[in-house]
Amino acid sequence: MPARKTEPLALPSARDLLRENPYTPTSTLAQAIMNASPLLSELVVVREWLHETAPLPQHPEATTGYWKFTKHSVMQSLRMGAVNRDGLVKKMDPDAVSRDEGRGLASDDANYEKSLVQSLYGYVRAGRLEEAIDLCRKAHQPWRAASIRGSRLFQWRVISAEIPDDDVRDGDDSDVWSGNKQRKLWKTSCIRAALTANLPDHERILYAALAPSPQTSAVLKMACRTWEDHLWAQISIMCEEKESMEMAKLGGGFWEGGLAAVEEGVREITQEEEDEEEEAWEREVVETLDSLKAIPITEGPGADHAFHFSQLHIILNQTDGLLETFAARLRDGTFLSSSHE
């Protein structure tokens, strides 16, 4: 008996979800936005591949306490009644360094902080947020763990239209919510931190990586060394910006706009306008990725390397041009047929 042809199940749009339920969690809306945009779905796949192939971050040495050398000096100063001892911070809260101008941590603590933040960036670059959170806890800095966890989209299955899979049914956790209810505010804070000039560069880069945006692209690119780093940074910015842009365009969502947005309702838009906006965004994506062909690289093969050249053309859906270019270069002797490239 021949297999029956069935039409794929039509997935609800983000606008439909909000019309039905203005309290739809942002994770559900983000998934609907991705389902409606084939290009965004492809970019997310590329980003996941870049996460999987990222180098393993170097783990900082274990520490036995929070700023223990600075704490020892501060406590000794208090006991002896000394003032401005060694130019160290007067307080031990996380913002002390940025708040007390001209003051800093003990050299050992400062070196550890830099090593820790660079490792956290490495975990973010590799998409290993849970490992980054665990490292923060081991470093006795739970506030950093909270700031990293803030990147998670808000999810609550009991008030969403998601169809639970078998694992969720077995776990029966539909009444448990996770993620960040105030992610929009969190993102604004990360962007502001990344743009704060008196913060160390490694701190600014970490916040720019957590909440990639066009405003912080220059900061994020300071950490890019390889061609893959630049590709990851650019795709991360485009994916995050697309989700934020679509969320803002929808309106009517409680978790992004509060009760005022619910009362105002979902913003209506014609299919023609939506298609035009999607096409404009696709052109912008192609132009942005095309610019990577000439991006300067400080480590590893450049954009003209055969592997990177092929990757970019495949991502841009320019395989015909890719094959024609390789055929032409084989004919004129630019590429040797015996070369691994």
DSSP 244-313: HHHHHHH---HHHHHHHHHHH-PPP--HHHHHHHHHHHHHHHHHHHHGGGG---SSS--TTSHHHHHHHH
Per mean pLDDT, which range of 64-68, 166-170, 280-284, 308-312 is the poorest?
166-170
Please state the rounded mean pLDDT for residues 200-219: 96
What mean pLDDT do residues 171-193 have?
Answer: 87
Percent of the chain residues topping a pLDDT of 90: 52
pLDDT digits (tens, 9 = 90+) for 65-123: 888 877 887 777 777 766 656 678 877 888 878 776 678 888 888 888 999 999 999 99
Question: What is the average per-residue pLDDT within 331-338?
Answer: 64
What pLDDT does residue 239 have?
96
Q: Angle between the 107-125 and 129-138 helix axes, to the nearest 10 degrees?
A: 160
> Percent of the chain at pLDDT above 70?
88
Would you call 155 helix, strand, or coil by DSSP?
A: strand
- Asked if residues 23 and 211 have their Cβ atoms less than 8 Å apart, the reply is no
Positive or negative torsion for Cα 288, 290, 295, 297? positive
Euclidean distance between CA atoms 51 and 228, whole angstroms: 10
φ, ψ at 44 (rounded to 5°): -65, -40
Q: Quick check: 296 pLDDT over 70?
A: yes
Give the distance, in angstroms, between the CA of residue 272 and the centroid of all CA atoms in the same chain: 31
Look up residue 236 and give its two tokens: 């991360």
Tokens of 243: 């989700």
pLDDT tens-digit series, residues 27-43? 999 999 999 999 999 99
Angle formed at CA 196 by CA 124 and CA 185, multiple of 5 degrees: 65
| Lookup result for tokens 């603590």 | 109
C-alpha 287: how far from chain center: 21
Is the pTM higher than 0.75? yes
What is the residue type of 203?
A: E
Q: What is the mean pLDDT of the chain?
A: 86
1 pLDDT band (50/70/90 cuts)? very low
Per-residue confidence at 219, pLDDT binned at 50, 70, 90?
very high
Contacts 24+ apart (CB under 8 A), 128-135: 128/51, 128/57, 135/59, 135/60
Measure the CA–CA gap between 287 and 293, rounded to whole angstroms: 11
Tell the burial category of 148 from Cβ atoms under 10 Å away from its Cβ (0-12, 13-18, 19+). buried
What is the third-level CATH fold of 16-67+106-297? Hyaluronidase domain-like (1.10.3450)
**Radius of gyration from C-alpha coordinates of the chain:** 24
Q: Stretch 287-292: mean pLDDT, rounded?
A: 93
Least confident range of 76-80, 181-185, 241-245, 267-271: 76-80
13-to-161, 192, 328 alpha-carbon distances in Å: 11, 32, 45
Question: What Å distances lie between residue 161 and 30, 247, 276, CA to CA?
Answer: 13, 17, 28
pLDDT of residue 174: 60
Mean pLDDT of the region 179-184: 93
Q: Report the alpha-carbon distance of residue 122 to residue 243 in Å, rounded.
A: 24
First to last CA, the chain: 48
Query: What's the angle, vertex CA 125, arms to CA 54 and CA 288, rounded to 5?
Result: 95
- Which carries the bigger pLDDT value, residue 65 or residue 158? 158
- C-alpha span between 120 and 166 (Å, rounded): 33
DSSP-based three-state secondary structure for 113: helix
The confidence band for 7, taking pLDDT boundaries of 50, 70 and 90, is low
**The pLDDT of residue 79:** 75
**Higher-confidence position of 340 and 27:** 27
Position 168 pLDDT exceeds 80: no
Q: What local confidence, expressed as pLDDT, does residue 243 receive?
A: 94
